[in-house]
Amino acid sequence: MELANLYQSINLIIPEIVLSIALIVLVIADLIFHTNKKIIPFIAGTGILVTAIFVINQFNYIGFAFSTATHTARSFGMLAVDSFGVFFKLIVIVSSFIIVLLSLASDEIQKTTDRIGEYYALIYGMILGMFFMITATDLILIYLSLELLSLSSYVLAGFTKLRDRNSEASLKYLLYGAVSSGLMLFGISLVYGLTGSTNLYIINTLIQNPHINLFTLSFATILIFAGIGYKISSAPFHFWTPDVYEGAPITITAFLSVASKAAGFALLIRFVKTVFVSYETNEGFWSLIEVFDWQSILVVISILTMTLGNFSALWQNNLKRMLAYSSIAHAGYMLLGLVVLSNQGLIAILIYFMIYLLMNLGAFLVVMLIANKINSEEIDDYNGLGFTSPLLSVSLAIFLISLTGLPPTAGFIGKLYLFIALVDAKMIAVAIIALLNSVVSLYYYVRVLKHMYLVKATASTPSIIPSTSNAILLLVLVVPVLIFGVYFQPLVEFAKDCIVILGI
């Protein structure tokens, strides 16, 4: 590799470099200020904001970084910088910033003040892993970034060590994660054996060769999907989700359910688009190479995922666990956007993700504020809260209605665009199944509201009034959910700007 190439590549990974520097600054600051750790969260927050600036700067940039020019005349990089990647990086950055604020408000995390440096360092490890997952176009980098993300999240899932459930969550996450990343690595090795390359673009050209073994390729693809499916908690690989989400500290649960899932989706979409799509038609549909039928597989997986998620959520009495199942169901909805294999579907996924970020983090914030006070996430303990704590209850109601997908909240817009994309691709049956699933989900979301509003408050019902800063954070999440429900044009325009996936 020439030095000029290296300089240019480094320019393209400035956000990642800033993150790494911030991580090291955090570790050193943790050593220097070991008596007073109040400054650590501010360093963490500032680092994220600075990274955000560099990510936004990248917006109109497009190009490969770290190309290995030795294989072919045309060189493809190890990672691709494009607007699609910038979009998902922004999702990750925004949710990370909100998680830092959430951690400041969380009693659970504040109890472990002397380990707070490690907490933020590990969060930075997650962000770094997700950034590389979003941009990676090389199987080695994909695997490595996935491991970086997993390794940090295993520790964070059991971070507080206050209850046995924490360790259980951490261990379960580790075991499932080890199996699925082992499967993925095996799939990667098969793909390398078939094609002799780890670069997604080169693999794309090589698998168009008619001599390729379809069975081996499909087997390898399914194995690789096991690794990605585990990250987005899609159907056959979702078993860890409820236990981990319930046992992990609530800030980490919220982070896993939004950012980690976003990175997984970015990886899946880029993987499918770069490896298996030969060209885009004029109407924006992606034409698959005839080696692996992604469409049928994804239809089955997404329907399975949302149905399993929604029906299991019906019986849950713990709100955190219920939100875990609901996040599985949402992964199923979002997979529908990929099923149609078109730019329109991709726009729908992007819109959905922006809204999902707001409403899911919001719901977790309310659950956390209530848990801070009553030390419980059981739905029965929410009885009568609607009368004693109006701000929290109304916000939670808005978030839950939005998660169901009812107007006038933003969740409706997200689902609407998904369904439009499905109908345009003539997949009416799938759209109807998804619609029925939404109806099922209404039951368990509204059940929480029933407990809050239809059970009379007793003398022992606590009145929870959030501090001013928490109330502001809550409003920052709640108001957009309402505004985007009626004025959603900016979201759509932004999503349309962000569908450029660097192709050949």
Partner 1 sequence: MEFYDIIFYLFALITIGSAFVVVTSRNIVYAAFSLLFTFFGVAGIYVLLGADFLAIVQIMVYVGGILILLLFGVMLTNKITSVEIRTGTVHLLPAAIGIGILFGAIISVMLWTNWNISPEPIPPSTTANIGRELITNYVLIFELLGMLLLIALIGAASIARRDKE
Interacting residue ranges for partner 1, rule: CB under 8 A: 1, 6, 9, 13, 20, 23, 27, 65-66, 68, 70, 78-79, 112, 114-115, 118-119, 121-122, 125, 128, 132, 140-141, 144-145, 147-148, 151-152, 154-155, 158-159, 161, 190, 193-196, 206, 211, 213, 215-216, 219
> Phi, psi (5° rounding) for residue 28?
-70, -45
Shortest CB 17 distance to partner 1, Å? 10
Cβ closer to partner 1: 222 or 406?
222
With contact defined as beta carbons under 8 Å apart, do 204 and 274 qualify? Answer: yes
Distance CA 247, CA 321 (A): 9
Least distance to partner 1 from the beta carbon of 301, Å? 18
Polymer length of the chain: 504
Which is nearer to partner 1, 141 or 232 (by Cβ)? 141
Residues with Cβ within 8 Å of residue 142, at least 6 apart in sequence: 133, 136, 188, 267, 271
Nearer to partner 1 by C-beta: 35 or 70? 70
- Beta carbon of residue 155, minimum distance to partner 1 (angstroms, whole number): 4
Measured from the CB of residue 30, what is the shortest distance to partner 1 in angstroms?
Answer: 9
Nearer to partner 1, 157 or 338 (CB): 157
We find the least distance from the C-beta atom of residue 210 to partner 1, in angstroms, to be 11
Residues 6+ apart with CB under 8 A from 390: none
The partner residues of 287 in beta bridges, in order of sequence, read: 279
288 burial via Cβ count (<10 Å: 0-12, 13-18, 19+): middle
Instruction: Please give the structure tokens belonging to residue 17.
Output: 């470099």
* Nearer Cβ to partner 1 (78/396): 78
Min dist. Cβ of residue 34 to partner 1 (A): 13
Q: Which two tokens stand for residue 365?
A: 């914030």
Q: Which of 338, 320, 137 lies closest to 232, judged by CA?
A: 338
C-beta atoms surrounding 456 within 10 Å: 10
The residue (of 203 and 303) whose beta carbon lies closer to partner 1 is: 203
What's the rounded Cα separation, in Å, for the pair 269 and 275? 10
Q: Which residues pair with 138 in a beta bridge?
A: 199
Q: 500: which residues sit within 8 A by CB, 6+ positions away?
A: 62, 82, 83, 84
Cβ proximity to partner 1: between 194 and 476 the closer is 194
Q: How far is the CB of 24 from partner 1 (least distance, A)?
A: 8
Work out how close the CB of 151 gets to partner 1 at its nearest, in angstroms, rounded to a whole number.
6
Whether cis (ω within 30° of 0) applies to the bond prior to 242 is: no
- For partner 1, which is the closer residue by CB, 174 or 425? 174
Name the residue with tokens 């649960």.
253
